[in-house]
């Protein structure tokens, strides 16, 4: 029995180490929403769990996106003036359309080093919501404030918080 537990622990440690290494070395991630909760404005802010409609995001580094555009006849749609290191888009958006990509910020890193976390910049937060990802664990959260403050409960979108995991991914 002790041997089985020891082997299981060793296998789990190896699996977690390989997952961590893959995540921190990745240039692209697929981030799948696993749980989404919030409040229904039209129901007096009653807490609710939202239906998951295959919501996910893609995060890519700038060189991977530029590489896609170099072979695409619609290359001119990418704004080569964009200089962020990483970008995010909803998976349902066309990856070949420049407007579908939003810049991500990160803490300062040495050249060639992957940042510890990524988060949406001000423009991305306005159009996409607030997304933050911990690179080492792959966990992310996405927040949409809804329209309660600006439009009121009769017209605003429902505020929601989504949680999930990002895994290395290659198109």
Q: Average pLDDT for consecutive 10-residue bins of the chain (171 residues)?
A: 42 38 67 90 76 84 79 59 83 84 85 85 87 94 79 71 90 61
Residue-number span of the structural domain to which 14 is assigned: 2-168
Task: State the pLDDT at residue 124.
Answer: 87
Buried b / exposed e across 55-67, counting CB within 10 Å, b at 16+? bbbbbbbbeebee
Task: State the pLDDT at residue 16.
Answer: 37
Task: State the pLDDT at residue 74.
Answer: 57
Task: State the pLDDT at residue 12.
Answer: 39
Structural domain tally of the chain? 1
Task: State the pLDDT at residue 149.
Answer: 65
* pTM exceeds cut of 0.75: no
Burial of 118 (0-12, 13-18, 19+ CB in 10 A): buried
């Amino acid at each position: 029995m002790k041997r089985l537990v020891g082997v299981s622990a060793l296998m789990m440690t190896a699996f977690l180490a390989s997952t961590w290494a893959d995540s921190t070395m990745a240039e692209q991630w697929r981030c799948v929403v696993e749980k989404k909760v919030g409040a229904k404005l039209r129901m007096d802010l009653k807490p609710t769990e939202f239906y998951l409609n295959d919501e996910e995001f893609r995060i890519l580094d700038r060189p991977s996106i530029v590489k896609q555009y170099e072979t695409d006849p619609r290359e001119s749609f990418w704004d080569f003036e964009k200089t962020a290191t990483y970008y995010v888009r909803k998976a349902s958006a066309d990856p070949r359309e420049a407007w579908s990509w939003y810049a991500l910020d990160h803490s300062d890193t040495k050249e060639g080093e992957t940042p510890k976390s990524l988060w949406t910049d001000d423009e991305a937060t306005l159009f996409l919501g607030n997304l933050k990802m911990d690179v080492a664990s792959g966990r992310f959260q996405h927040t949409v404030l809804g329209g309660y403050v600006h439009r009121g409960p009769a017209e605003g979108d429902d505020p929601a918080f989504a949680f999930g995991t990002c895994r290395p991914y290659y198109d």
